Structure 1
Amino acid sequence: MTTAIPDHTRAAVVRAFGEPIGIEDVPVPPRVEAGGLLVEVVACSLCGTDVHCWEGSLALDIALPLILGHEMVGRVVAIGEGAQVDSVGQDLRVGDRVIWTHAFCGRCVMCARKRPAMCLNRSAYGHVSMQEWPYLMGGFAQHAYVLPGSGRVRVPDAVPDDLASMASCALRSVVNAVQQAGRVGPEHTVVVQGAGPLGILATGLFAQAGAGRVVTVGAPAARLELATAFGADDVVSLEEVPDPAERLDRVREATGGLGADLVAEFSGHPAAFAEGVEMAGLGARYLVVGQLGAGTTPIAPGTITKKNLTVIGSFSGDATHYHQALQVLERYADRLPFERLISGRYPLEDVNAVIGRMQAFQEIKPVLLPGARS
């Protein structure tokens, strides 16, 4: 099952950390192996991790040169043998849109424990060298290759390209994290640290889950306004309240002096961890999602003990979370303003300018449209 496969495709290629990204012609595999897919990338939203990867600041093995992008949606161009059904049992045909996971080996101990996101041998899109077959392992390109070990989910017709793209990383990570955090109800106050895309989405999902009060801590003001639109009952601005002790006082005021029942860290700043532990009340849960860098922060471990805290780390997600993220976009379309997270749509050639805008906090969730021309 295939349409015409081009010899080469255009891609944004990183050849040196922190240096301008060039647009290059990259080979396209002439055939699709069993279980694989070749797709035309119709949208790729940018994640903060893409910026950190380009900067060279991620605490992960990154192989240059590479095509950035791991948050994308593609239209199927060719289907390998045995790949006519997606990971949740839906039929796949040429022309369908899909989102897909990183590739998992299916043989290691974590895969055997049904924790594929923790696969010991995973191949991560946006981190694998473009010099290795199948070359197209990133979303900043007109085409991408879906490996046999990658879970894939067909995108419902009602979900727009840019939101489907966001579902493939930001929203699926939040869906997984909210599930791991456990039940929240009207008796619970939730503090969300961070007002980036993940923090705003988490604000919305905790509010929809029935939390009695949601407090979002972050900056700048425009993002906090968006967090309010997603359901935050209170916001605490890092710009207006730069002193951590005063921010802690604000949280205590919002919780009757008790501290939060659940603190969810989505900021990515190492110092937020110690601050979040202080914001948590007795017997509370602390959900840590944003900490992927190599930064460190001092903390008194006894605080965790004396408060009897449960600390939960949540990383990435598997195909079920991708599917659930798409369902969230459908189910809450009339309740949460997802489209307001999309801050701009750009052709591939604008990639350097877009990364610069993200560094300056001028974008929330920009989207590259590889098929568009500037």
Structure 2
Amino acid sequence: MKAVYYEGNKEFKVGACHPVAPGPGDVRLDVAYCGVCGTDIHIAHGAMDQRVPSPMVIGHEMSGTVAELGEGVVDFAVGDKVVVRPLDNRGEKAADRGYSHICQDLKFIGIDAPGAFQSSWTVPAFTVHKVPAEVDLKLAALVEPLAVACHDVRLGKVVSDELAFVLGGGPIGMLVALVARHAGARVVLSEISSYRLEFARKLGLEAFSPMETDLAAWAREQSGGSGADIVFEVSGAKPAAASMTDLLAIRGRIVVVAIYPQPVEINLFHFFWKELQMCGARVYEPEDYTKAIELIASGELPLEEMISQVEPLEKLPDVFNSLENNPESMKVLMDCRG
């Protein structure tokens, strides 16, 4: 069995996997696939060395099967197909007001604690979700990013026949667009990459470049002069953030999905003039995992198209190098089965 260890300073090493026997309340999993996430890429670039211990296995977008149960675990059986919701909220306090998924002392498994780029992974049982036996484990590895999209769309309160804009056509942006469309919205994706624009159109989405189309004017034209009902900002680009309020109709809504480490300019006059609303959306809650698993099991979303390639686990260092030169790739899965 194999594992890939991040050693700090942009260095990875392929080595042996050392299975950890599950303690009380834990589950040991045989990892099937683990997707490469944007956060993993940030770690690979050395941008999170102050947070990520080393050497350590990272990765969290996984699928697999139950291999061994710790004492007291009764909700799973050996062989069950599962995914992990990689949030350890055992540091939750009263001041967190019950929002355990974003509690102040939240530990993200795969960043703050060992992750899934290994053949065997031991995690707390409360993080594990069953997946129907008929679901392909490759698709199951998309549950974690799909749950992000389900959380975003749920917080955005998307309903049928709304006009929704998704700014940014990376993997999460594409998934947000697909989930919002499934909720009944007319979805428009804004993206500057010609590759991603074409990819979105192959998924049946309307997609435009803001460099070529006046999207605010287009939104008003398509809505009888009103504008969009909701905007999802997924790009993390300052020009996109600046454009959000122009796109929206009266009492339009903004969901901020992207991470902005520094303040950016937003037209607050539009918030006053149009009575706009804005909320942040961070990770997911258990119900979003339930919804993501249901969507994958239903086969109603073209999720197979999201998987760009599948590589053996030992190729992970090469994958990080290739993604640095080809950022337009959607989702790369690592086969962790050794």
Instruction: Normalising by structure 1, report the TM-score.
Output: 0.82
1:120 aligns with 2:104: yes
Please tell me whether residue 57 in structure 1 is matched to residue 47 in structure 2: yes
- Paired residue type of 2:190: V
Give distance in 2, aligned partners of 1:254 and 1:82: 57
Q: CA RMSD in A?
A: 2.4
**Structure 1 residue aligned with 2:261:** 294
8 Å contact from structure 1 (residues 198, 266) kept in 2: yes
Paired residue type of 2:3: A
Q: Which string of whole-angstrom CA distances, capped at 9 and with x for unpartnered residues, describes residues 234-284 of structure 1?
A: 31125x63x8xx444444444444321100112233442222232222210
Distance in 1, matches of 2:13 and 2:91, equals: 35
Decide whether aligned partners of structure 1 residues 222 and 159 sit closer, same or farther in structure 2, where only a CA change above 3 A counts.
farther
Against the structure 1 CA distance between its residues 227 and 59, is the aligned structure 2 distance closer, same or farther, given a 3 Å change threshold? farther
Answer yes or no: is the 8 Å Cα contact 1:177–1:314 preserved in 2: yes
Query: Partner of 1:109 in structure 2?
Result: 94
1:194 aligns with 2:184: no
CA offsets per residue over residues 200-232 of structure 1, 9 Å max, x none?
122222222122x21111143343233234442
CA distance in structure 2 between the partners assigned to 1:316 and 1:83 by the alignment? 26
Q: Secondary structure at the match of 2:23?
A: coil
Separation of aligned partners in 2, 1:286 and 1:74: 35
**Structural mapping, 1:2-151, within 5 Å:** 9-17=1-9, 19-29=10-20, 31-57=21-47, 61-85=51-75, 92-101=76-85, 102-105=87-90, 107-109=92-94, 113=98, 115-128=99-112, 137-148=114-125, 150-151=126-127
Q: Is contact 1:229-1:336 (8 Å) kept?
A: no
**Cα distance in 2, alignment partners of residues 296 and 63 from structure 1:** 28
Matched, 1:160 2:136: yes
CA-CA distance at 1:128 after TM superposition: 2.2
2:290 aligned with 1:315: no
1:266–1:23 Cα change, 3 Å: same
Q: Is the 8 A contact 2:43 2:49 kept in 1?
A: no
Distance 1:339 1:308, change over 3 A: same
Aligned to 2:156: 181
CA contact (8 A) 2:253 2:276 kept: yes
Partner of 1:354: helix, strand, or coil?
helix
2:191 alignment partner in structure 1:
218
**1:115-158 deviation digits (Å, cap 9, x = unpaired):** 221122222122125xxxxxxx211111111125x421111122
- Output the CA distance in 1 between the equivalents of 2:207 and 2:266: 25
Closer/same/farther in 2, CA of residues 320 and 59 from structure 1, 3 Å limit? farther
Q: Which residue of 1 aligns with 2:245?
A: 277
CA distance in 1, matches of 2:128, 2:91: 15
Find runs of 4+ consecutive structure 1 residues off by over 4 angstroms. none
| Mapped partners of 1:362, 1:313: distance in 2 | 25
Q: How many angstroms does 1:287 deviate by?
A: 0.8
Change (3 A) 1:66 1:110: farther
Task: Answer yes or no: is the 8 Å Cα contact 1:11–1:26 preserved in 2.
Answer: yes
The alpha carbon displacement at 1:60 in A equals 8.5
3-state SS, counterpart of residue 27 of structure 1: coil
Specify which of 353, 358, 368 is matched with residue 318 of structure 2: 353
The residue that corresponds to 2:201 in the other structure is 228
Relative to structure 1, is the Cα distance of residues 223 and 26 closer, same or farther in structure 2, using a 3 angstrom cutoff? same
Q: Give the 3-state SS of the residue equivalent to 1:15 in structure 2.
A: strand
Q: Which runs of 5+ in 1 are unaligned?
A: 1-8, 86-91, 130-136
Check whether the contact 1:76–1:93 (CA below 8 A) recurs between aligned residues. yes
176-185 or 49-58: bigger deviation: 49-58
Unaligned residue ranges in structure 2 (runs of 5+): none
Give distance in 2, aligned partners of 1:348 and 1:207: 34
Aligned to 1:89: none
8 Å contact kept, 2:245–2:267? no
